[in-house]
Amino acid sequence: SQQGEEDPQALSIQEGENATMNCSYKTSINNLQWYRQNSGRGLVHLILIRSNEREKHSGRLRVTLDTSKKSSSLLITASRAADTASYFCATDKAAGNKLTFGGGTRVLVKP
């Protein structure tokens, strides 16, 4: 079973628009991470937010975490064609040394 579930499963936007995707999870976590995967490639880490943090920024990325609702969101501002990829959330549970990945959101940014 997957701890994180992303919503929506797919997203199509125009270049310059913002893209928002959400992740919900079920159990207590130490941190939540977002990764990007370009077609046919491995995953690349984007941002990590710890359970005691509510918001984090990295360049054009903004991540929020609401532990009371067990949910997180990833916002990509001013999207570019190069942002076309699948985005995955992954949770680090309170106990253990392993990540659990969601099913991903496929983002298409049209030029």
The tokens for 39 are: 């077609």
Q: Which residue number, 15 or 43, has a Cβ lying nearer to another protein? A: 43
Shortest distance (Å) from residue 53 CB to another protein: 12
Q: Which residue number, 6 or 83, has a Cβ lying nearer to another protein? A: 6
Under 8 Å between Cβ of 36 and 87: yes
**Interface residue list for another protein (CB under 8 A):** 1-2, 4, 30-31, 33, 35, 41-45, 48, 50, 88, 90, 92, 94, 97-104
Give me the sign of the Cα torsion angle 96, 29, 9, 110: negative
At residue 104, the 3 state secondary structure works out as coil
